[in-house]
Chains A and B, each alone.
Chain A
Amino acid sequence: ETGVTQSPTHLIKTRGQQVTLRCSSQSGHNTVSWYQQALGQGPQFIFQYYREEENGRGNFPPRFSGLQFPNYSSELNVNALELDDSALYLCASSHGTDYGYTFGSGTRLTVV
């Protein structure tokens, strides 16, 4: 079985720009969630999608948005980038509520 894959692995953007990060869920998983991990910190929950609908959100502003597609792949979009958005962004997929979250290796975003 394939794991969770994220692209790109690294990205550099300028403050004020917009960015899209992509995630391909593990086969058979219908739930995807996104996390932001700042340097030296634990990951923070951004939001979760189940069957293409956002069904949970952490303490992040609306400029963080997402999509989940019928094949359960997912995107994280961040508008109006700020320097503090520099972090490792992790995608995790699971099947329903079995809590067997499988994480990808992440996208390292640097905002300059």
Chain B
Amino acid sequence: AQSVTQLDSQVPVFEEAPVELRCNYSSSVSVYLFWYVQYPNQGLQLLLKYLSGSTLVKGINGFEAEFNKSQTSFHLRKPSVHISDTAEYFCAVSRGGADGLTFGKGTHLIIQP
């Protein structure tokens, strides 16, 4: 079975500053990796995904993530955050097929003006 650890439950950052949200996973097999964002009282929106190929993945809203197989990490970054980025961010993994997604507990990104 696989698992996901999001190391920070909350990350406060000032507007226009860079941010990194950390995600580590464990799995005995190759996995696909995802980052989702959840705004209050809404469902999940896919930010980006890593299936194969280049380890640097670019997503929507200026976010990017880097897959590091040796460190089993998939950290999410944004060079300059905006107040509208305030939300809950979830890292997830899947072995594919009918496996479903295994999510971390989430990181609450708090943007301070």
Contact = CB atoms under 8 A, between A and B. Distances in A.
Contact of A42 (B43, B45, B103): B103
Contact of B100 (A4, A48, A100, A104): A48
Nearest to B43: A103
B105 interface: yes
Given A41-B105, A99-B34, A50 B98 contact: yes
Contacts of B32: 99
A47 B49 CA distance: 21
Contacts of A41: 105-106
A45 B46 contact: no
Interface residues of B, number: 26
Interface string A87-100: 00010100001011
A90 B43 contact: yes
Interface residues of A, number: 26
Given A99-B32, A100-B46, A42 B98 contact: no
Given A43-B44, A106-B43, A97 B105 contact: no
Contact of A56 (B90, B99, B105): B99
Contact of A55 (B94, B98, B102): B98
A110 interface: no
Contact of A101 (B42, B101, B102): B101
Contacts of B45: 103
Interface of A: 4, 33, 35, 40-45, 47-48, 50, 55-56, 58, 90, 92, 97, 99-106
Given A48-B100, A97-B97, A99-B49, 4 more contacts: A45-B100, A90-B44, A97-B96, A104-B43
